[in-house]
Chains A and B, each alone.
Chain A
Amino acid sequence: MTVAVLALQGAFIEHEKILSRLGADVIELRQAEDVKKSYDRLVLPGGESTVQGKLLKELDMYDTLYEQISGGMPVLATCAGMILLASEIEGSDGHHFGTIPMCVRRNAYGRQLGSFHTDAEVSGIGMVPMTFIRAPYVAHTGDGVEVTAQVDGKIVGVRYKNQLAFSFHPELDDDTRIHEAFLKL
Chain B
Amino acid sequence: MSKTEERYELNKNLAQMLKGGVIMDVTTPEQAKIAESAGACAVMALERIPADIRAAGGVSRMSDPKMIRGIQEAVSIPVMAKCRIGHFAEAQVLEAIEIDYIDESEVLSPADDVYHINKRDFKVPFVCGAKDLGEALRRINEGASMIRTKGEPGTGDVVQAVRHMRKMNSEIAKLTSMRKDELFEAAKQLQVPYDLVEYVHDNGKLPVVNFAAGGVATPADAALMMQLGAEGVFVGSGIFKSGDPAKRAAAIVKAVTNFTDAKLIAELSTDLGEAMVGINEQEIALLMAERGK
Residues on A lying within 8 angstroms of B by beta carbon are: 7-14, 30-31, 46-48, 50-51, 54-55, 58-59, 79-80, 106-107, 110-113, 115-117, 131, 133-134, 169, 172
Contacts and interface: CB of A to CB of B under 8 A. Distances in A.
A54 B37 CA distance: 8
B78 interface: yes
B41 interface: yes
B122 to A, nearest CB: 10
Given A30-B258, A112-B78, A113-B123, A7 B14 contact: no
Contacts of B6: 117
Nearest 7 A-B pairs (CB), nearest first?
A112-B100, A9-B20, A48-B41, A115-B10, A11-B16, A111-B98, A9-B21
A133 B100 contact: no
Contacts of A50: 36, 39, 76-77
B20 A10 contact: yes
B16 A117 contact: no
Interface residues of B, number: 38
B124 interface: yes
A149 B99 CA distance: 29
Contacts, number: 110
Task: Name the residue in B6, B19, B20, B36 with the highest tally of chain A Cβ atoms < 10 Å from its Cβ.
Answer: B20
Given A50-B76, A117-B10, A31 B258 contact: yes
Given A9-B257, A117-B10, A14 B125 contact: no
Contacts of B10: 112, 115-117, 131, 133
Contacts of A47: 17-21, 41
Given A8-B257, A55-B254, A133 B20 contact: no
Task: Name the residue in B10, B37, B124, B125 with the highest tally of chain A Cβ atoms < 10 Å from its Cβ.
Answer: B10
A107 B258 CA distance: 27
Interface of B: 6, 9-11, 13-14, 16-21, 36-37, 39-42, 72, 76-78, 95, 98-101, 123-125, 250, 253-254, 256-258, 261, 264
17 contacts: A31-B264, A46-B17, A47-B20, A48-B77, A51-B41, A80-B17, A106-B76, A111-B98, A112-B10, A115-B11, A115-B13, A131-B9, A131-B13, A134-B17, A169-B13, A172-B13, A172-B16
A106 B95 CA distance: 21
Contact of B257 (A30, A48, A134, A169): A30
Given A55-B39, A58-B254, A117-B9, A134 B19 contact: no
* Interface secondary structure of A, over-half rule: loop
A105 to B, nearest CB: 11
A59 B253 contact: no
B257 A55 contact: yes
Nearest to A8: B257
A62 B131 CA distance: 40
A14 to B, nearest CB: 7
A172 B14 CA distance: 11
Contacts of B18: 10, 47-48
Given A51-B41, A59-B254, A131-B13, A11 B19 contact: yes
Contacts of B264: 31
Contact of B124 (A10, A11, A113, A117): A113
Contacts of A172: 13, 16
A151 B223 CA distance: 41
B151 to A, nearest CB: 22
B76 A51 contact: no
A58 B253 CA distance: 11
A112 B41 contact: no
A48 B98 contact: no
A51 B40 contact: yes
B14 to A, nearest CB: 5
A137 to B, nearest CB: 15
B39 A54 contact: yes
A9 B16 contact: no
Contacts of A112: 10-11, 14, 78, 98-101, 124-125
Given A10-B21, A111-B100, A134 B14 contact: yes
